[in-house]
Amino acid sequence: MIEGFTGWEAPVSDTAAALAVKLKITDQAPEFMSPKAFEQKIDQMVADSGNTITHMDAILELIEQGEFDYEDMTKLCSRKSMRQKIENCARALNYMPKLDTLDDL
């Protein structure tokens, strides 16, 4: 017989498992940001760069730094003004087709 081995392990109760899950969730303390605050943060980053980076670049930089997950971007970029800034940037970079203007007619 192995010394210190009793041959059985104490069962983990359901309440202990629930408590472990609860502690794990509360230890993370996620930071919540509203779409408006996120837009202000992106605008500030673009302004601080002297407009050398685009709004899309600023968003990608925050994702690369690990501040946000790319899956959060749908909710954070939900404001119409933010979507338009990203769309304008995408059109300027030819990621989206150009819109017809009166100058083209």
pLDDT recorded at residue 32: 77
C-alpha 26/C-alpha 30 separation (Å) is: 9
Please tell me the pTM assigned to this model: 0.62
> What DSSP letter does each residue of 29-55 carry, written as one string?
-PPP--HHHHHHHHHHHHHHTTS-S-H
pLDDT in tens, 50-78: 989 999 999 999 999 988 888 888 899 99
Long-range contacts, stretch 72-81, CB < 8 angstroms, 24+ apart: 75/35, 76/33, 76/35, 76/38, 77/35, 77/38, 78/35, 79/35, 79/36, 79/39, 81/39
